[in-house]
Structure 1
Amino acid sequence: MTYFRWALGRIGVAALTLTGVSILIFGAVRAMPGRYSDLVLGPLASRAEKDAAAERYGLDGSLPEQYVHWLLHAVRGDFGISMASQTPVASEFAERLPATLTLTALALCVTVLIGVPLGVLTGIRGSGGGRTGRLLGSLGLSLPEFVLGSVVVFVFTRYGLGLTVGAYVPWDQGPLRSVLSLVLPAAVLAVFCTAAVARTTRDSVLGVLVEPHIAAAIARGESTAHIVRHHVLRNASIPVLTLLATLTAYLLGGAVIVERLFNTPGLGSFLVDGLDRRDYAIVQAGVLLAATVFIVVNVLVDIVCGVIDPRISNQAGSTAI
């Protein structure tokens, strides 16, 4: 029961956090310099035209009324109408979501398949070993995405090498072709993520290796592989899962620079375009979606971590009592 109370508490805190974030998003969008009417209708629009546009987009009421109206519709999946394209924001998001999801999934797969084994390997070798892994990790963390992306675009544009730059293929035209069209931007995004996961995994493994139960396992004559599988990975996984949750939200929120470089029609670049046009509906929906993903993923990771290490939920429950 302690675990379930703790999990319900985490969900409740997440709901309150998301409500607070929605208020901040709504207020921040309204506080942006520049009026939507000047950008949508132009500076020469008459007062009657501006009043009609405000009524159409639900901006003629007080701020509390606008917030409640927007939130109730957003909960039902109705994010309003884009002021620029005059199309529902939900349909615009649905059109761009497959590209962002595929890009995120590819980048996370590369991150987990390379970053975790590399971090475990350098951690097992200890502070005096794994110099190559640490060097690659530091290089990946310090290399800006726009620099790496520009180099990749130049090389693959100049020499081909079997992959096309800037030719995104929609999912409905072939899943395999769609995935192949996103391999390069996913690889660029995965460099930073892989380096961060490798560094975190290494530090976590080093912290577990000095625990007394590891020394006891060595004294019992257990092999290194057995110790890593049964004693190290589970205890070292919690910081790695927490970092992966953050990286997932970061990728789903949209790596705008990479999307721009590779001409990928994802959510990130779409949100930036909406911000430039002061398109309230797009900006509010995009930021709210990114915040929701971040909060939900972190809650799920907290719940999984509570299963992996029951001390987390037990300690939280005893503290609350």
Structure 2
Amino acid sequence: MRLFSWWLRRALSAVVTLFLVSILIFAASRLMPGGFAEVVLGPFASPEQKAEVSARYGLDQNILVQYWLWLTTALTGDFGISMISGEPVTTEFGLRLPVTAELTVAGFAAAICLGVPLGVYTAVRAGRGRTAAVGRLASGLGVSVPEFVLGSIVVFLFSRFALGLTVGGYVPLSEDPGQNLRSMVLPAAVLSVFVIAVTARTTRDAVLTVLVEPYITAAIARGESPWFIVTRHVLRNASIPVVTVLSTITAYLLGGAVIIEYLFNLPGVGSYIVQAVGRRDYAVVQAGVLLAAVVFIVLNTLTDAAAGALDPRFGTGSKARRSR
């Protein structure tokens, strides 16, 4: 019952948050300088022409009516029609989502498979000067170098010299897995540098905090092996901040994919939304930002649930702890 009430509160909070986000999205898209008619027809169009275009797409209606129509159709899964291509927004997103999803999954996998082990390794060997210095330097560089700078360098090097990997020329995974891998390795690697560095640094700090706890000293006194101590005592107790940063990193990956898709000429959702902003394609912009908000809220909820499962003092187990 306690778990059900926790999920119910989180669901209600998510609904309210999404409702407020939808208002902000709709208002922000309409407040952008230059409307759809001005962008499509150009600065020399007559008022009659602009009025005709606005009436064709329902932009001449009251702003509250426009918002209500968009919200009610969005709740049914219909995000409208792209005013530029004339295709349903869901169809356009479906064509581009695999690219962004592939980049995001690759970055998340790199954070778990490389960032977490690297953070644990540098923490365990923190007392050895050279290892600690190299770890701090690597994580500092990874966090400090902007992805557009690193991406530009990678694009130049692999475009200028024949280094075995291609820049651009995206091929879907279903058509040619080998060519898809060659075209996605570089953008995924550039996107992963920051997340690996942040995950490694967060894991290192969390593990160092746990290593000074009395129960770790007791485990060492009992003669337990370092590997057993790390896997049995350290990892679970250090996992809360790591899980939290991983959820934040996923949101960063969705945003960072926009820059990477532009640099490497990938037909993903991020670059499509940016193009829609420039063209004032309201339906695409509103749907893209709303879906990103849904992903972020779901990830935060799952993170809280995972934190409660890993440590009863957090999340869903907090009330149980206070009731005892």
What is the TM-score of this pair, normalised by structure 2?
Answer: 0.92
Distance 2:39 2:283 in 1: 14
Greater mean alpha carbon deviation, residues 139-148 or residues 149-158: 149-158
Match of 1:194 among 193, 196, 204: 196
Distance 2:15 2:64 in 1: 19
What SS does structure 1 have at the residue aligned with 2:82?
Answer: coil
Counterpart residue number, 1:247: 249
- Is it true that 1:91 corresponds to 2:91 in the alignment? yes
Greater mean alpha carbon deviation, residues 275-284 or residues 46-55: 46-55
Identity %: 57
Match of 1:234 among 226, 236, 240: 236
Match of 2:217 among 215, 218, 221: 215
Distance 2:11 2:207 in 1: 30
**How many angstroms does 1:52 deviate by?**
4.2
Partner amino acid, structure 2, of 1:166: G
Q: In structure 2, do the counterparts of structure 1 residues 157 and 42 end up closer, same or farther at CA, with 3 Å as the change threshold?
A: closer
Match of 1:173 among 172, 175, 196: 175
Distance 2:47 2:60 in 1: 13
Counterpart residue number, 2:285: 283
**How many angstroms does 1:57 deviate by?**
2.6
Greater mean alpha carbon deviation, residues 123-132 or residues 307-316: 123-132
Q: Kindly indicate whether the alpha-carbon contact (under 8 Å) linking 1:6 and 1:317 is maintained by their aligned counterparts in 2.
A: no
**How many angstroms does 1:189 deviate by?**
0.5
Q: In structure 2, do the counterparts of structure 1 residues 268 and 254 end up closer, same or farther at CA, with 3 Å as the change threshold?
A: farther
Counterpart residue number, 2:260: 258
Distance 1:96 1:110 in 2: 22
Q: Kindly indicate whether the alpha-carbon contact (under 8 Å) linking 2:191 and 2:256 is maintained by their aligned counterparts in 1.
A: no
Q: Deviations over 1:115-153 (max 9, x none)?
A: 101100111123664221111000101111122112211
Counterpart residue number, 1:121: 121
Q: Kindly indicate whether the alpha-carbon contact (under 8 Å) linking 1:254 and 1:269 is maintained by their aligned counterparts in 2.
A: no
Equivalenced residues, count: 320
Greater mean alpha carbon deviation, residues 39-48 or residues 214-223: 39-48
Partner amino acid, structure 2, of 1:314: G
Counterpart residue number, 1:315: 318
Counterpart residue number, 1:25: 25
Q: In structure 2, do the counterparts of structure 1 residues 214 and 7 end up closer, same or farther at CA, with 3 Å as the change threshold?
A: farther
Q: In structure 2, do the counterparts of structure 1 residues 70 and 153 end up closer, same or farther at CA, with 3 Å as the change threshold?
A: same
Partner amino acid, structure 2, of 1:151: I
Q: Unpaired runs of 5+ in structure 1?
A: none
Counterpart residue number, 1:5: 5
Partner amino acid, structure 1, of 2:237: N
Q: Deviations over 1:54-74 (max 9, x none)?
A: 344333332222112111211
Distance 1:58 1:234 in 2: 55
Distance 1:156 1:260 in 2: 16
Q: Kindly indicate whether the alpha-carbon contact (under 8 Å) linking 2:103 and 2:257 is maintained by their aligned counterparts in 1.
A: no
**How many angstroms does 1:253 deviate by?**
3.8
Distance 2:256 2:174 in 1: 21
Q: Kindly indicate whether the alpha-carbon contact (under 8 Å) linking 1:254 and 1:266 is maintained by their aligned counterparts in 2.
A: no
Q: Deviations over 1:162-195 (max 9, x none)?
A: 2111111123312343233111000001001100
**How many angstroms does 1:2 deviate by?**
2.6
Distance 2:215 2:7 in 1: 29
Counterpart residue number, 1:164: 166
- Is it true that 1:300 corresponds to 2:302 in the alignment? yes
Q: In structure 2, do the counterparts of structure 1 residues 254 and 223 end up closer, same or farther at CA, with 3 Å as the change threshold?
A: same
Q: Kindly indicate whether the alpha-carbon contact (under 8 Å) linking 2:100 and 2:257 is maintained by their aligned counterparts in 1.
A: no
CA RMSD, 1 decimal:
2.0
Q: Please list, as runs of the form range in 1=range in 2, the aligned pairs for 1:34-45 lying within 5 A after superposition.
A: 34-45=34-45
Partner amino acid, structure 2, of 1:242: T
**How many angstroms does 1:77 deviate by?**
2.1
**How many angstroms does 1:226 deviate by?**
0.5
**How many angstroms does 1:46 deviate by?**
4.9
Q: Deviations over 1:2-59 (max 9, x none)?
A: 3332233222212211111111111111111112111123345455544443344333
Distance 1:151 1:64 in 2: 47
What SS does structure 2 have at the residue aligned with 1:163?
Answer: coil
Distance 2:311 2:96 in 1: 38
What is the TM-score of this pair, normalised by structure 1?
Answer: 0.93
Distance 1:113 1:125 in 2: 19
Partner amino acid, structure 2, of 1:223: S
Q: Kindly indicate whether the alpha-carbon contact (under 8 Å) linking 1:37 and 1:50 is maintained by their aligned counterparts in 2.
A: yes
Distance 2:302 2:180 in 1: 29
